[in-house]
């Protein structure tokens, strides 16, 4: 027969690191359309800038440059502030939202803008 005893100790340390990446592959195009009010190109690639061509006591004329900042063709509609009553407007179709917002869209010849393309329309209004 055999008998005995064993004793001992163990100590140590362990360290490490882990890294990785995960990317998704889904696409959700959404189901609605909201042109928004800002110029965030991920939401609305159409931006506008306004130049006052003339301003007098009873009215004014403005020129509006419309730009497609996106990477694909896009039709455009812009909403801009309006003071007064439209007397004439050129190079766009238009409607009003309340009494202080002008909504303008392109005509057949300028309604679709190429990527980074621009067009202009203008109007005169009375105060």
**What is the set of domains in the chain, with CATH numbers?**
46-126 (2.60.40.290)
**Which of 77, 78, 104 has its CA nearest to residue 92?**
104
Pairing verdict, β 118-126 and 85-90: antiparallel
pLDDT at 44: 86
* Helix (H) or strand (E) run with residue 55 in it: strand 46-56
Q: The whole model's pTM is what?
A: 0.65
Q: How far apart, in Å, are the Cα atoms of 22 and each of 18, 19, 25, 122?
A: 13, 10, 10, 50
DSSP letters along 97-124, please?
ETTTEEEEE--TTTSEE-TT-EEEEEEE
Q: Which DSSP symbol is given to 71? A: S
Q: How far apart are CA 97 and CA 102, in angstroms?
A: 6
pLDDT at 88: 98
Q: What is the pLDDT of residues 55-110, one digit of tens each?
A: 999 999 999 999 999 999 999 999 999 999 999 999 999 999 999 999 999 999 99
């Amino acid at each position: 027969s055999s008998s005995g005893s064993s004793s001992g100790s163990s100590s140590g340390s362990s360290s490490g690191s882990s890294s990785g990446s995960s990317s998704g592959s889904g696409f959700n195009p959404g189901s609605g359309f909201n042109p928004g009010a800002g110029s965030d190109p991920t939401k609305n690639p159409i931006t506008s800038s306004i130049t006052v061509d003339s301003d007098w006591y009873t009215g004014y004329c403005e020129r509006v440059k419309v730009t497609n900042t996106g990477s694909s063709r896009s039709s455009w509609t812009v909403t801009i502030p309006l003071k007064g009553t439209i007397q004439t407007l050129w190079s766009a179709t238009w409607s009003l939202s309340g009494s202080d917002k002008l909504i303008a869209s392109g005509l057949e010849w300028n309604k679709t803008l190429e990527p980074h393309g621009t067009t202009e329309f203008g109007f005169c209004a009375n105060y």
